[in-house]
Structure 1
Amino acid sequence: MNTSNETKTNLTMKGVVTGNPFYSVSVSRVLLVIITLVVFSLLVKLGLWQLSRASFKQEWQSTLLERQQQQALSYEALLAIVKSSEASTTSQPEARLLTGYRLSISAKPANNMMLLLDNQVYQGQVGYLAYQVFEITPEQPWVLVELGFVPASKDRRILPELTPLKNAYYKLVGRIYQKQPNPLSDQLDAEQSADTPIRFQNMNIPALTDLLGHDLAPIVLQPDNVPNYHLPQPWVPIPLSAQKHQGYALQWFTMAAVFLGLMGWIAFRQYRR
Structure 2
Amino acid sequence: MLVILATVSLFLLLVKLGFWQLSRAELKEELQSQLTSRQAAAPLSYRKLLSLPASEPLTGYKLSTTVTPVGNKVFLLDNQIFNGQVGYLALQVMQVNPIDPWLLVELGFVPAGNDRRVLPKLPHINQSQTFTGRLYQKQANPMSSDLFAEEGWPKRVQNLNISQIETTLNHPVALAVLQPESIKGINLPHPWQPIPLSAQKHLGYALQWFSMAVAFALLVFYFIRVRLKKK
TM over 0.5: yes
| 2:137 matched residue in structure 1 | 178
Are 1:219 and 2:149 counterparts?
no
| 1:271 matched residue in structure 2 | 228
- Within the candidate set 150, 154, 165, 1:208 is matched to 165
Distance 1:31 1:162 in 2: 62
Runs of 4+ in structure 1 off by over 4 angstroms are none
| 1:115 matched residue in structure 2 | 75
Greater strand content: 2
Query: How far does residue 188 in structure 1 lie from its aligned partner after superposition?
Result: 0.4
- Within the candidate set 19, 22, 26, 1:55 is matched to 26
Query: How far does residue 85 in structure 1 lie from its aligned partner after superposition?
Result: 4.2
Are 1:242 and 2:199 counterparts?
yes
Distance 2:141 2:24 in 1: 18
Structure of greater relative contact order (alpha carbons < 8 Å, 6+ residues apart): 2
Query: How far does residue 31 in structure 1 lie from its aligned partner after superposition?
Result: 3.5
Counterparts in 2 of 1:149-164, with a 5 A limit? 149-164=109-124
Are 1:142 and 2:117 counterparts?
no
Superposed CA deviations along residues 77-134 of structure 1, whole A, max 9, x for unmatched, are: 11111xx242xxxxxxxxx421000001111001211210000000000000011111
- Within the candidate set 24, 35, 38, 1:67 is matched to 38
| 1:257 matched residue in structure 2 | 214
Distance 2:89 2:3 in 1: 53
- The residue type equivalent to 2:40 in the other structure is Q
Distance 2:186 2:86 in 1: 19
Query: How far does residue 164 in structure 1 lie from its aligned partner after superposition?
Result: 2.1
Distance 2:159 2:213 in 1: 37
Superposed CA deviations along residues 127-163 of structure 1, whole A, max 9, x for unmatched, are: 0001111101110000000000000001101111113
Q: Matched residue of 2:72: which SS?
A: strand
- Uncovered stretches (5+) of structure 2, i.e. residues with no partner: none
Higher deviation after alignment, 196-205 or 67-76: 196-205
- The residue type equivalent to 2:110 in the other structure is V
Distance 1:129 1:171 in 2: 21
Are 1:128 and 2:88 counterparts?
yes
Distance 1:269 1:239 in 2: 45
Distance 2:21 2:135 in 1: 27
- The residue type equivalent to 1:126 in the other structure is V
Asked if the contact 2:123–2:186 (Cα under 8 Å) also holds between the matched residues in 1, the reply is no
| Aligned-CA RMSD value | 1.1
- The residue type equivalent to 1:228 in the other structure is G
- The residue type equivalent to 2:24 in the other structure is R
Q: Matched residue of 2:227: which SS?
A: helix
- Within the candidate set 132, 145, 151, 1:192 is matched to 151
Work out the percentage of aligned pairs sharing the same amino acid. 50
Distance 1:74 1:220 in 2: 14
Distance 1:66 1:153 in 2: 39
Normalised TM-score (structure 1): 0.82
